[in-house]
Amino acid sequence: MPIDVAREQLLTFADLARRLPRRRRGRPVHTSTIHRWRSPGIRSVRLEAVRIGGAWHTSWEAFTRFCEALTALEPDAELPATETPARVSGHDAANSALENSGW
């Protein structure tokens, strides 16, 4: 469904980036990320956008539809365990080796 310019509140990509939660290391989402969501998209899902003058715009409603479409693609799988027993024993062995060498 394309953006309905008459009914949806338009946002510049910079405005949308500022409204989104911060990501890695507390950094905000960059506007180039939003451009990539528009084209080429993620897993063949593209953020709806319109070009007004020289600037790209989207809407919060379009962003919501984009997120819902991406979420619908995810399988209903259980989350993996944070640490497997093999990893735990590997960590213990590494820690012991470091302690024995004086670290």
The model's pLDDT over 26-85, given as tens digits with 9 standing for 90+, comes to: 899 999 999 999 999 999 999 999 999 999 999 999 999 999 999 998 887 444 555 555
Residue ranges per domain, the chain?
A: 1-75
Nearest to 12 by CA among 34, 33, 29: 34
pLDDT value at 12 more than 50 = yes
- Reported pTM: 0.68
Nearest to 57, CA basis, from 70, 38, 42, 43: 38
